Amino acid sequence: MQNQKEKYFLLYLKTGGGHLAPASSIAHYLSATYGSTIEPLLVDGLVNANSVVRYIIEDGYRLLQARSKLYYEFLYATNKFSLIRHCNATMSGFFMKPYLKKRIDEERPAKIVIFHFFLIAPVLDILKELRYDIPVITVVTDPFTAHPLWFQREQERYIVFSERLKENCVQKRKIPASKLRVFPFVLDKQFSTFLSSVEIMKVKQKYGFVPEKKVVLIIGGGDGIPHGKSILQHLLHPSLDVEIAIVCGKNKELYADALELQQHSPSLKVFAFVDFVYELLNASDIVITKCGASTIMEILIMKKIPIIIDYLWEQELGNMEFVRDNELGIFEPDIAKLPSLIQELISGDEKYKRYLKNIEKMNMRSGMEEVGEFLRNLEQ
């Protein structure tokens, strides 16, 4: 009789790609490596929730980040108060708990891995109510400065992606070091390899880039990049001899504006929501972006020079500081200065090579395999 596979629940919410992407990467690794004994299951905590609740938590969270930055940052700051933090966790957990409890009770997973802070309270409460002794660990997807809601339960164990965050947890949050494990940031397997120069040339031809020119890629998250139209208007100047590509994501307004500008600028390549970021990053030389963790790590691991034009206080502050303070790229919120910065990078090799050398010194890699192995060996 064939042994039954152990089920691993990888819990996430669709509040941005930064939670689902690492969960999917880990699921892929476990399935590919241990598929005969482990069955990783991606579980969306809001599957059966009311549509209004789903919209508020998923789209509301995402839209606030993209279109009402100050209000998002205000809400972020209020979660530093324990009472507000507790209320937010309790309210969100109320709508997720019935579905999660049913799944956990019926399928009795061998292990539970949490990739979103709103899932921590309901999962731990469910296990207490059911009296199930299932190992649980939380993957903190903010690598340097983490949202306060990650640390709402003292008994929780964590995977974090930097020594800086571990030190903050130990010193300021008084979390025992034994409950924290540090690994490299988890990225998809493809970001562990690079395209060859021949393959890059084929990618450039595929998307219409002039092969011998430098490529500047403009990319943010699923909703594009803040001030995207203004960035393009500043960069689309005859004196800047580069190929420019912009990924607009689901931002239809930005996509329409970019297509209009493209009519007068043949060097501009416009994309909506894409599944070939890996190819575009390989083909690019400089990447203008905001400071989402996954995007920044993808840029750096592919050894491209980031120019950061924006970040969310305080959640993405550490991402920006990591790039700026280690001279891995440039933080420049003044969009009017972007043309001169890019011109300086492409016209002389010294500055470009300095950033590239600093990136290479970091020896960055995806932690997918290491995290996957740790989870396989995780015990109560």
pLDDT 10s digits, 321-348: 999 999 999 999 999 999 999 999 988 7
Predicted local confidence at residue 1, as pLDDT: 41
Take residue 305 and report the two structure tokens written for it.
């020079």
Nearest Cα neighbor of 142 from 167, 116, 124, 122 is 116
According to DSSP H, which parts of the chain are helical? 17-34, 51-54, 61-67, 69-78, 82-107, 120-130, 163-171, 197-206, 228-235, 252-262, 277-283, 293-301, 317-325, 338-347, 349-362, 368-376
User: Residue 246: enclosing H or E segment and its boundaries?
Assistant: strand 243-247
CA gap 140, 117 in Å, rounded: 8
pLDDT < 70 positions in the chain: 1-3, 17, 60-69, 71-73, 75-77, 155, 380
Predicted local confidence at residue 51, as pLDDT: 80
Contact status, residue 220 vs residue 232, Cβ threshold 8 Å: no
Q: What is the number of other CB atoms lying within 10 angstroms of the CB of residue 40?
A: 26
One fold for 6-184+366-376 and 190-362: yes
CA gap 272, 153 in Å, rounded: 40
CA gap 45, 120 in Å, rounded: 11
How many contiguous H segments (helices) and E segments (strands) does the chain have? Answer: 16, 12
In this structure, whether the domain defined by 190-362 belongs to CATH 3.40.50.720 is answered with: no
pLDDT 10s digits, 237-270: 878 889 999 999 888 999 999 999 999 888 899 9
Identify the three-state secondary structure at position 39.
strand
C-alpha radius of gyration, the chain, whole number? 22
Q: Which residues contact 288 (CB under 8 A, 6 or more apart)?
A: 216, 217, 218, 219, 225, 231, 306, 307, 309, 338
| Domain boundaries of the chain, sorted by first residue | 6-184+366-376, 190-362
CATH superfamily of the domain spanning 6-184+366-376: Glycogen Phosphorylase B; (3.40.50.2000)
**Exposure letters 275-306 (e unless 16+ CB within 10 A, then b):** eebbbbbbbbbbbbbbbbbbbbbbbbbbbbbb
Side chain identity at residue 18, one-letter code: G
